[in-house]
Amino acid sequence: MDNDFHALRRILQNCHTLAVVGLSAEWHRPSYFAAKYMQSHGYRIVPVNPRYAGGQVLGEPCYASLLDIPFPVDMVDVFRRSEEVLPLAAQAVQIGAKCLWQQLGVANPEADALARQAGMDSVGNRCVKIEHARLFGGLNWVGVNTGVISARRPV
């Protein structure tokens, strides 16, 4: 899985449309919090959750499945249990996504292998919000050791 500094930075710089599978409409859920953060930093969020299909989450139309999205998606960001990721990875390949991102606590090696075999980037057991804040935001300003050593702010 692409969990090194340079790969994560490249992925977050090149993937601007994020299909968030399992995105909840409840503000206190981690999926909502992470997606709202990414949306506020200029990323297009595409909610994917059958519970809210036909409605909206974060002001965006929600789809029941990745296969229902009528436009290209750069990243499939998965907030589901690890055992549910493999079919989602197959759908991500089918729709031509560039990256499969398995959120913190989610890591399915078979899904990772399928994504890589299709030429996609694959990230596992990482939070897209935390990684974005660590690599591009201001986590270091509040005393978090980000592992990024530089005299200037990353672009």
Digit-coded pLDDT (tens) for 28-65: 999 999 999 999 999 999 999 999 999 999 999 999 99
Q: 5-142 belongs to which homologous superfamily?
A: NAD(P)-binding Rossmann-like Domain (3.40.50.720)
Q: Name the pTM for this structure.
A: 0.88
Both tokens of 111, joined, read 């899904």
The backbone torsions φ and ψ at residue 36, rounded to the nearest 5 degrees and listed phi first, read: -65, -40
Q: Do 36 and 58 touch, CB atoms closer than 8 A?
A: yes
Q: Tell me, what's the pLDDT at 138?
A: 64
Instruction: Give the residue extent of every domain in the chain.
Output: 5-142
User: Would you tell me how many other CB atoms lie within 10 Å of the CB of residue 76?
Assistant: 29
Residue carrying structure tokens 């998606």: 73
When pLDDT is averaged across residues 80-84 and rounded to a whole number, the result is 97
Other beta carbons within 10 Å of 153: 10
Q: Is the pLDDT of residue 150 over 70?
A: no
Find, among 84, 81, 63, the residue nearest to 17 by Cα: 63
